[in-house]
């Protein structure tokens, strides 16, 4: 992997992390009047996958979608404005935090229905096939969504038609307050039994951005060649609670030791150390990166604060395309 690719991976993760941290630190001020689902701890997946994509490749995200949106090239200002429900938000204040969209960046919108985006991303893959393009369609979903039958239905259809769809299961082990072990048998059922010619499957360390990126590149190449879909099961952990900020996290449903253990596997810190040991990331480079990101985030929050709210007269717009 080239050093600029490594730096791009790191920068993408760091930017997602810093955006999340700023949201978390300001959330109790109540200027953001929409639920937020932070993806702290899961940045390597969004960054590693999206760096393997072109702008006209498509992603389907979900309620925990800030990382996907940013990694795919979504506009930060429009995202932060949307969290403030402003008219300048990416969804004009109609969507809130769970319905981010940036069509120019290949992000056609995201659903808050768990598993809802899985067949939609599959259908986008069908359209790519019918239009004879070499684009790929990526679907991000969690282990909670893997409980849903629609995943099996979509995988079956993608395999049947050899669609260029990459199913990315972010296995963060928690669905709201339900542990994975109360919902699924240990290893994911979809990794077993599928003909490898029809479905490329891999279970990987989702906190290792390089592994995610390298695997994504293989899956993308497979998709572009017309060979068919892939299922990447990425092991990771939701460091924060299901929704809101840390101060709002209910206690008692998970072991603090578990959070500590996974915090030690922080994808951003691990990769920083790795790049430093390779001599690719020195202190001045990192400081410059941090400063640029911090300025960009401040600018986005200022933009959001100064932006107008939607008018109540806008209520009836947008239901139908005329």
Chain residues in the site for other proteins (CB under 8 A)? 58, 60, 89-95, 99, 101, 103, 108-109, 111, 113, 116, 118-128, 130-131, 137, 149-150, 153-154, 156-157, 160, 310, 317-322
Tell me how far, at minimum, the Cβ of 199 lies from other proteins, in Å. 15
Long-range contacts (CB closer than 8 Å, 24 or more residues apart) made by 5-9: 5/51, 5/213, 6/210, 6/275, 6/278, 6/280, 7/275, 7/280, 7/281, 7/285, 8/51, 9/47, 9/48, 9/51, 9/209, 9/210, 9/213, 9/271
Nearby residues of 95 by Cβ (< 8 Å), 6 or more positions away: 82, 89, 101, 109
Tell me how far, at minimum, the Cβ of 108 lies from other proteins, in Å. 5
Tell me how far, at minimum, the Cβ of 272 lies from other proteins, in Å. 35
123 vs 244, which CB is nearer to other proteins? 123
154 vs 215, which CB is nearer to other proteins? 154
95 vs 144, which CB is nearer to other proteins? 95
Three-class secondary structure of residue 218 per DSSP: helix
91 vs 201, which CB is nearer to other proteins? 91
Tell me how far, at minimum, the Cβ of 66 lies from other proteins, in Å. 16
Tell me how far, at minimum, the Cβ of 304 lies from other proteins, in Å. 15
The two beta strands, 165-171 and 174-175, are unpaired
Q: Are 42 and 49 in contact (CB under 8 A)?
A: no
138 vs 212, which CB is nearer to other proteins? 138
């Amino acid at each position: 992997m080239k050093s600029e690719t490594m730096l791009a991976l790191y920068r993408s993760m760091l930017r997602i992390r810093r955006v999340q941290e700023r949201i978390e630190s300001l959330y109790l001020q109540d200027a953001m009047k929409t639920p937020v689902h932070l993806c702290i701890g899961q940045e390597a997946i969004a960054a590693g996958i999206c760096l393997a994509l072109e702008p006209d490749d498509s992603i389907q995200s979900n309620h925990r979608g800030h990382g996907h949106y940013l990694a795919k090239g979504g506009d930060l200002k429009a995202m932060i404005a949307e969290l403030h429900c402003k008219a300048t938000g990416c969804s004009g204040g109609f969507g809130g935090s769970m319905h981010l969209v940036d069509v120019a960046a290949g992000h056609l919108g995201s659903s808050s229905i768990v598993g809802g985006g899985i067949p939609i991303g599959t259908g986008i893959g069908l359209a790519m096939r019918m239009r004879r393009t070499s684009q790929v369609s990526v679907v991000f979903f969690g282990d909670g969504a893997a409980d849903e039958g629609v995943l099996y239905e979509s995988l079956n259809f993608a395999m049947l038609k050899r669609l260029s769809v990459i199913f990315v299961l972010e296995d963060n082990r928690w669905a709201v307050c339900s542990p994975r072990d109360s919902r699924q048998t240990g290893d994911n059922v979809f990794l077993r039994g599928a003909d490898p010619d029809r479905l490329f499957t891999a279970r990987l360390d989702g906190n290792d951005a390089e592994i995610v990126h390298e695997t994504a590149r293989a899956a993308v190449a497979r998709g572009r060649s017309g060979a068919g879909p892939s299922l990447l099961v990425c092991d990771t952990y939701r460091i924060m609670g299901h929704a809101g900020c840390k101060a709002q996290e209910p206690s008692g449903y998970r072991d603090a030791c578990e959070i500590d253990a996974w915090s030690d596997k922080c994808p951003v810190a691990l990769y920083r150390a790795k790049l430093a040991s390779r001599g690719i990331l020195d202190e001045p480079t990192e400081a410059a990166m941090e400063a640029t990101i911090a300025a960009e985030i401040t600018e986005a929050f200022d933009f959001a604060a100064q932006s107008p709210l939607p008018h109540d007269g806008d209520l009836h717009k947008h239901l139908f395309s005329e």
